[in-house]
Amino acid sequence: MSSTTKNAQGIELPTQIIRIAGAQIPCGTNIQANKVEILKALDWAKENQVDHLLTPECALSGYLHGWEQKIDEIKDALKEIEEHLSNCNLCLHLGTNFEEEYFYEKAVNRNEIRHYDKGGLITAVTYKTFVLNDKESVLGKQEYEPISIVNLIEPSQETPYVPQATGMICNDMWGASEARKDPLPTKIKNMHLDLILHATNGRKMELDDPQMIVFDSWHDAFLRMTAANVIIPILTVDSCSDWEWDGSEETAEYYHTSSQSGVIDINGWQTDVPRVGRQYFSYDLDVTIKPDEKFYIQMKTREQEQDSSDPV
């Protein structure tokens, strides 16, 4: 049975729901182990009718430098992932370090999210802006390079508008204090997007590390404030392993994620994803109208309810 949603003008529109999902998986220096984790996540997403799946930052390549000596292995693994994806009927947003070959006609290394459509074809690439070159060995996105935009639904005559998303990678969300520049959410606030795809892979700590409380509080507060300030839902995914994970099952569930994985919007966390080990999670996102318009409707409804409850 079809349903409708009213916009700010009271016009009923066909309700559009997409299923977004994240794969909180281990990733490290073993490319083959990383590949297997991604393929398993794709199988889960296909089985659960996911529309958009996000992996952690550098899920295929691993985060630390040294991946650039394995570029042929990464490219072969990527081909296998792309072939597998083409039979899954879902969009993949894959985090990896990769060698790009068109920047100033020279091969350069990038930390990126590769955005694939449901046919397994790449439609856009998000490059990390605020990189740590001593660890990543990659070139950051330059200010003159455009912010990549991804369609969340294929355009058709039936859709009132096409909801869109953009990607962010780790410090692009957390801020750029070392670069003395504004974090990217500041720049996208007025783009009226429907979703932020945030792939991260922060430094892991043991569960009893006292610093974990401080980092946890900071990451949580930052995500809450960002979602509130830009009025855009955020799908954020961290890895569950140390950067040097070698594929060992013994250490795949040893560390606490550096930040919460899940979906958060202006009303707070919409998911409750465990912080340890492999976790696949999904959320049904209503993209019938823009998030800021939806928030405006919520505020007007609350005002009307408050007025009706006030004594005369």
Report the distance separating Cα 36 and Cα 32, nearest Å.
Answer: 6
Confidence of residue 305 (pLDDT cuts 50, 70, 90): low
Q: Is the pLDDT of residue 41 over 50?
A: yes
Does residue 33 sit in helix, strand or coil? helix
Q: Is residue 185 exposed (0-12), middle (13-18) or buried (19+ Cβ within 10 Å)?
A: buried
Strand partners of residue 291: none
User: Closest by alpha carbon to 16, among 28, 34, 32, 2?
Assistant: 2
Strands (E) located in 138-241? 150-151, 164-169, 195-199, 234-237
Q: Is the pLDDT of residue 1 over 50?
A: no
Q: Say how far apart CA 26 and CA 242 lie, in whole Å.
A: 8
- Cβ-based burial of 303 (10 A; exposed 0-12, middle 13-18, buried ≥19): exposed
pTM of the shown model: 0.92
9: nearest Cα among 297, 312, 307: 297
pLDDT at 130: 87
pLDDT digits (tens, 9 = 90+) for 88-123: 999 999 999 999 877 566 789 999 999 999 999 999
Give the span between the Cα atoms of 240 and 134, in whole angstroms: 22
Nearest to 57 by CA among 127, 137, 142, 150: 127
pLDDT digits (tens, 9 = 90+) for 47-76: 999 999 999 999 999 998 899 999 999 999
- Give the Cα separation of 52 and 85 in Å (integer): 12
180-188 contacts: CB < 8 A, separation 24 or more? 181/130, 183/226, 184/129, 184/147, 185/226, 185/229, 185/230, 187/147, 188/147, 188/230, 188/232
Is residue 145 a contact partner of residue 102, using CB atoms and an 8 Å limit?
no
